[in-house]
Amino acid sequence: MSISKILLFALIALASTKNVVLIGDSRSVGIGNQVLGFNSGKSSKVGGRPMIISSAAKIFNGHSVKVVAQSGSHFGTFVNTANSVSVGATKVLGSSPSGTAVLLWLGVNNLNADATASYYKSLANKFKKLKFYAISVTGVSVKSTRSNDKIKAFNEKMKTLVKNSGLPNLKYKSILLNDDPTKVAIKDKVVLTIDVSTTDAKGLHYKTEGSKAILNAMLSGI
C-alpha cells in the first residue's frame, strides 16, 4: 500500500473519531490510568490527591478521550475556581470543538443531587456548543457512608433535575440495568456486576476490567 493511501486512511479514521471529555473523581482517574494510560500527577492545591488534566487525548474504541478528574472531588471541587482541576476543566472544555461529548461523572463523594445538577447546568449554559451527559453513578460493593440505596436515590433525582433543566445540550445517561447501581449494562446486556470481586477492598473503586466496561457503557450511543 502506498504512503498516500495510508495517510488517506489515517485522515478518514481521524475525521470519524468522536471527541469526548470525561469529568469526574477518583473513579475517572482510575479510567484514565487503567484504561487510557494517562499518568496522574499530584496537586499541591487540593491536598496532593491524584489528578489528571489531559491536554492530549487518548484513542479508545473510535473515541478521542480527554480526562479531567481528581480523587476525592465533587461538585464543590469544580465550582471552586481556585482549584487546579476546576481551572483545567474550564480550559479543556473551552478548547474543545463543537459537538464534543462531555461525560459528567460526579456524585459518589457527595450525594447532593441538587448541587451537582446545578454545576452540570452551569457548564451546559456556559459551553452551549458542547453536548453534556450526566452519567448515572455506579454502585459500591461494601456499605459505608455510601450505600447503593443512596446512590440509586441520587440517580433518580438527577434524572429528574436534568430532564427539567430545559437545556437542549444536557441529557441524563444511565449506564445501569433497571437503575440497579450494581449492574452496568449496554443495551440491556450486563457488562459489569459490581461486587467484591470487581472492586478494591473499600468497595469504591473498580479493577481494570470494570473501569473498561464502564467507559464502554458511557460511550455507547453518544
Say whether pTM exceeds 0.95.
Answer: no
The pLDDT assigned to 42 comes to 57
Which residues lie below 8 Å from residue 112, measured CB to CB, with a gap of 6+?
Answer: 74, 75
How does strand 131-135 pair with strand 58-60?
A: unpaired
In a domain, 215, yes or no: no
In a domain, 209, yes or no: no
- 142 or 112, which is more confident: 112
- All three cell numbers of 213, joined, read 466496561
Phi, psi of 106 (to 5 degrees): -115, 165
Instruction: Reply yes or no on whether the pLDDT at 80 is more than 60.
Output: yes
In a domain, 48, yes or no: yes
173, 135 Cβ separation under 8 angstroms: yes
The pLDDT assigned to 143 comes to 77
In a domain, 190, yes or no: no
DSSP 217: H
* Share above pLDDT 70 across residues of the chain, in percent, rounded to a whole number: 90
- All three cell numbers of 196, joined, read 467484591
The pLDDT assigned to 12 comes to 46
Confidence grade of residue 1 (pLDDT, cut at 50, 70, 90): low
Q: Tens digit of pLDDT for each residue in 9-47?
A: 444 444 568 999 999 999 999 999 999 999 876 554 456
Q: Tens digit of pLDDT for each residue in 81-96?
A: 989 999 999 999 999 9
What's the rounded mean pLDDT across residues 109-128?
A: 98
In a domain, 199, yes or no: no
Instruction: Reply yes or no on whether the pLDDT at 114 is more than 70.
Output: yes
What is the b/e burial string over 130-160, where b = at least 16 CB atoms within 10 angstroms of the residue's CB? Answer: bbbbbbbbbbbbeeeebebebbbebbebbbe
Choice among 54-63, 112-121, 170-179 with the minimum mean pLDDT: 54-63
Task: Tell me how crowded residue 59 is: count the other CB atoms within 10 A of its CB.
Answer: 12
Q: Which CATH number does the domain housing residue 35 bear? A: 3.40.50
Task: Tell me how crowded residue 57 is: count the other CB atoms within 10 A of its CB.
Answer: 18
Burial environment of residue 186 by CB neighbours within 10 A (0 to 12, 13 to 18, 19 or more): middle
Closest alpha carbon to 39 in 67, 72, 64 = 67
DSSP 133: E
What's the rounded mean pLDDT across residues 108-122?
A: 98
In a domain, 65, yes or no: yes
Q: What's the one-letter identity of residue 182?
A: T
Q: What is the average pLDDT score of the chain?
A: 91
The pLDDT assigned to 3 comes to 64
Instruction: Determine the structural domain holding residue 22 and report its residue range.
Output: 3-174
In a domain, 208, yes or no: no
Structural domain tally of the chain? 1
In a domain, 195, yes or no: no
Q: Tens digit of pLDDT for each residue in 177-221?
A: 999 999 999 999 999 999 999 999 999 999 999 999 999 999 999
Alpha-helical runs (H) found in 113-207 = 113-126, 148-163
85, 73 Cβ separation under 8 angstroms: yes
The pLDDT assigned to 101 comes to 98
Alpha-helical runs (H) found in 64-173 = 75-79, 84-94, 113-126, 148-163
